[in-house]
Amino acid sequence: MKKRLFGILCAILVLALFCGGFAFADGTAQPDAIETLVAGMSLRDKLAQMMFFCPRAWKEDASSDAPAENIQVLNDYTRRYLADHRFGGILLYGENCADAEQLLRLVADMQSANQSGGGLPMLMAIDQEGGTVSRLSFGTAGTGNMTITATGDPENARAMGRVFGEELALLGIDTDFAPVVDVNDNPANPVIGVRAFGDEADVVSKYGCAFMEGLHDVKTIVSLKHFPGHGNTDIDSHTGLPLVDRTLDELMAKELVPFQAAIDAGADMVMTAHIQYPQVEKQTYTSITSGEEVYIPATMSKVILNDILRERMGFDGIIVTDALEMKSIWDNYAIDDAIAMAINAGVDMLIMPAVRDKAMMEQIDGMLTRAVENTEAGVIDAAKINEGVTRILSLKREYGLLDRTDFAVTDEAVAAAVAGCGSAEHRQVAWDIACKALTLLKNENDAFPLNVKPGEETLVLFTAASRVGAAELSQKLLEDMNALPEGARLVGMTIEPDTAEACLEAAKTADHVLLVSRAWTLDCIDPSTEDGFPVGVVNQVIDALHEAGKGAIVISCQLPYDAACYPEADAILLTYGSGPMKTVPAESGAGSAWVPDLPAGICAAFGAVQPQGLLPVDLPELDENNHLTAQTLYARQVE
């Protein structure tokens, strides 16, 4: 009965939300309708409104050996769960995304289930940064941020953001956890890297704001990340608890510059970083795993979120946590403490631990119940809850979400989603950006491009098996462009410990060789490590090609720092990104989403694309052990 009354109250109040408030017959003002709506909500509903629910997979019995099933269609339990809990938002992951029609119907079903229990329309969010972080397995994967910066034109950031926003809107998704505005000034960073627009604050500001404008052009809610900066870490907060030992003045001079620029330009949301900043926030907590004292991270810091972000930087939008299941949080802080401390610090929305089985759904329910109890006991500040919910509902009103009452999916909506996600126009935008970004870092002896004759074979050696399908796709693209001589073909092989000798012998006899290097961490540029083993083999191939009087072309397809590994290469081309591609996507111009950067680079090696990109970051020299030094080998060209 209480749910039904709450639903009726919501329906009545929503009618007035867009007028900003009510007035009595005598003309005196009533409270703003948002405030009235908040006042009518139960404490449990307010706290649920502050949560992003993350339904990734389903398993009835967590102890069973049976694999979990990706949640792509709601079962009865999950549908009832959404109706009962009335969350403020849903965060979708790759597991939820099969194709455009399926995802459109899933999103609508989630909204309808929530609404059936009297809930307000939820924010539907996803991480669609582009390139390596593209949750949709279909549509336009686009390029990553560093690729965009290499074009030297911020308008390309705006164009890419607009493409993502248009496709998400067709699917009923209104919130993109993007752009990343971290300044990647630490090449050893294991989690940001090419997700950043660059390593210089003003460059990141310029391109980050342009990307945000593209999303705003099509009314997509934007969330900056990861405040106050994840670019200067050497630990991934998904797997550990990073620490940035910089003063507030140092942060204001670099890390916070892009955040300030985007806040001034109208950012809607800011995502927190699970990172310690001991020179800014000195409060500690006893780690539940190690028993050691650790500093509380930005996610739980009132100094960082209230004093700096709110008061000093003037941000009054939504503060949302990064995922609370990340090991930086999960392994160090009791979850109930983390929730309480985050809300008290000024967080408005919490990304709850991802659900992969029924037991986790029950745990989320327990977390919500205990949050209610902690608020009633005074552990959580009730005033902070009211402030947070007011901001959430105000944002929903601003974007017209509160007036949604019908989430039925029409045939027209399905047709539009299927046609629009991955349209030829959108893919062309991404392809053009990938081509414009290609950076020919080095070209000696006119080694680049290849001079391929009819019937000749080009061996493409990959240092990562997950990218080998790019050879076959590139052949298809080259044929489509009439850029491959008759009978010429590309053959892909992967350099691994048990194939290294075969790759070396194949390179000696091939007509032409392309060496595709993929470094995703600094381990990949150290031949003494398992991940870096292929680097040594690539250099052996380079030596063998030179002995045979042939040129050696290296294509760097992710972190550009591996360029320093190949001083003897005749030519080095940077693409700044690539996507997993063990096989060719269905219909190279449609079907599954694929990242265009590496195929564009391979096509360029055949002269089909002209590299014109600018280096967006400084590339350091390596010492004799292939470790980074403080010396610059190639200097940034984008300003």
| Three state DSSP letters for 35-97 | HHHHHCCCHHHHHHHCEEECECEECCCCCCCCCCEECCCCCHHHHHHHHHHCCCEEEECHHHC
Residue 599: which of 614, 577, 618, 621 has the closest Cα? 577
- Using DSSP bridges, classify how beta strands 123-126 and 89-92 pair: parallel, antiparallel or unpaired: parallel
Report the SS3 class of residue 443.
strand
Contact 632, 618 (CB under 8 A): yes
CA 523, CA 519: separation in Å to the nearest integer? 8
- The token pair at 369 is 């119940």
Domain 438-634 is in which class? alpha beta
CA 207, CA 261: separation in Å to the nearest integer? 11
Beta-carbon contacts of residue 449 (< 8 Å; ≥ 6 apart): 604, 605, 606, 607
Torsion of the alpha carbons at 462, 466, 470 and 472, rounded to the nearest 10 = 90
Q: Give one DSSP letter per residue of 275-341, joined into a string.
A: -B-TTT---EEE-TTT--EEEPPGGG-HIIIIIIIIIIT---SEEEEEETTSHHHHTTS-HHHHHHH
For the chain, how long is the longest CA-to-CA vector? 94
CA 302, CA 248: separation in Å to the nearest integer? 14
Fold of 45-59+67-418: TIM Barrel (3.20.20)
Regarding pTM above 0.85, the answer is yes
Helix axes 597-605 and 424-437, enclosed angle (nearest 10): 60
Residue 454: which of 421, 407, 486 has the closest Cα? 486
Average pLDDT for consecutive 10-residue bins of the chain (639 residues)? Answer: 50 46 39 87 98 96 92 97 98 96 98 96 97 92 97 98 98 98 90 94 98 98 96 78 93 98 98 96 96 96 98 98 94 97 98 96 97 98 98 97 92 96 95 98 96 97 94 95 96 95 96 97 91 95 96 97 97 96 58 88 98 97 92 96
Domain ranges of the chain: 45-59+67-418, 438-634
Report the SS3 class of residue 257.
helix
Residue 229: which of 276, 269, 266, 268 has the closest Cα? 276
- The token pair at 157 is 């950031």
pLDDT of residue 54: 97
pLDDT of residue 587: 53
Question: Cβ–Cβ contacts within 10 Å for residue 211, how many?
Answer: 31
Same fold, 45-59+67-418 and 438-634: no
Q: What CA–CA distances, in Å, run from 53 to 29, 71, 78, 346, 594?
A: 37, 13, 11, 19, 28
pLDDT of residue 583: 63
CA 16, CA 13: separation in Å to the nearest integer? 5
Report the SS3 class of residue 560.
helix
Question: Cβ–Cβ contacts within 10 Å for residue 27, how many?
Answer: 6
Active site residues: 238, 322
Q: Partners of 176 in the beta sheet?
A: 126, 222
Q: What CA–CA distances, in Å, run from 371 to 86, 574, 611?
A: 15, 49, 55
